[in-house]
Amino acid sequence: MYRHRLFRLFFGALFLSLFFNSYSVSQTRPEKVGYCEVPGGKIWYKITGSGTQPPLICIHGGPGGTSCTLSLLDSLSDERPVIRYDQLGGGRSDHPTDSTLWRIDRFVEELSTLVNHLQLKEYHLYGHSWGASLAVEYMITKQPKHVKSLILGGPLISTPLWIKDAAILLSTLPDSIQDIIHKNETAGTTDSPQYQKAIDEYNRRYLFHKNPHLRPSECEGVKSNNFIYKFMWGPSEFTATGNLKFFNRESDLHKLKLPVLLIVGEYDEARPKTVEHFKQLIPKATLVVIPEAGHVGLVDQTVQYIKQIRQFLKGVDSQ
């Protein structure tokens, strides 16, 4: 999961030079921006680079999030096109108000439609958090033939296991914070300032471990959609009340026959111990744990995170 309202909390000073270097590099590589008609409206997409290796499609978290943070993955565009898109309802894509659209099967159809629109012959898939849910669901239900590998960052694969992990992480918070969470969830007052502060305390530890406070220019004016987040997930990262409450593909992981990279932060809310369990269920899976990183490891440890993805992709492409 990816708490959309923290999209404004990007990049501390440690990351500024890295960002500007990435930004300047992207200006020297081919870029294409377009729109694709999908069930429910149009989605925005961007392709950076024109390298000779198979492209990488990047699926952002949420639900209701945007792809702007994934612009950091443009560093990989020296070897291959990097494709990212804003899911319907968020970012630069259309924002319809029909709540019947906010179903995982429609989002899977959206991804399938984009792949067909771009006429991709073969490609790699990267999904982060909720985006990893979509990637797994896409692979299992659509059984695409031209996906070379799958990269799952901080993956939501089983909501029941996610909530169990969240309970463990919540137990590390001060008793006063835990009391606020319990009282407000019991009373149904999760919009209260006290509950929101409790969320911030949890997120500072397990979402953005380094608590960055600046945002890249790619995210300026790009808005996420809190309604979709609450409708599909719930009021916070640790409480599921939406239609993903019973999402669970744990028993289907053995069907993923392609190379899979699982990548998490040391302090990820997708706990490394649980993701290690998922690794054991996938025939060709590798797990990488990024030190000193939270759920959004791409922001916390950008260089190391991208290095691991680059090495994995090169290994798959060389086979």
User: Among all residues, which ones are annotated catalytic?
Assistant: 129, 268, 295
User: Contact, 9 vs 211, CB < 8 A?
Assistant: yes
Structure tokens at 243: 């239609």
Give the C-alpha separation, 109 to 215, whole Å.
31
Give the pairing of strands 123-128 and 31-38: unpaired
* DSSP classification of residue 236: B
User: Contact, 61 vs 2, CB < 8 A?
Assistant: yes
Burial class from Cβ neighbours inside 10 Å (0-12, 13-18, 19+) for residue 154 reads buried
E strands present in the chain: 31-38, 41-48, 56-59, 82-85, 123-128, 147-153, 260-265, 285-290
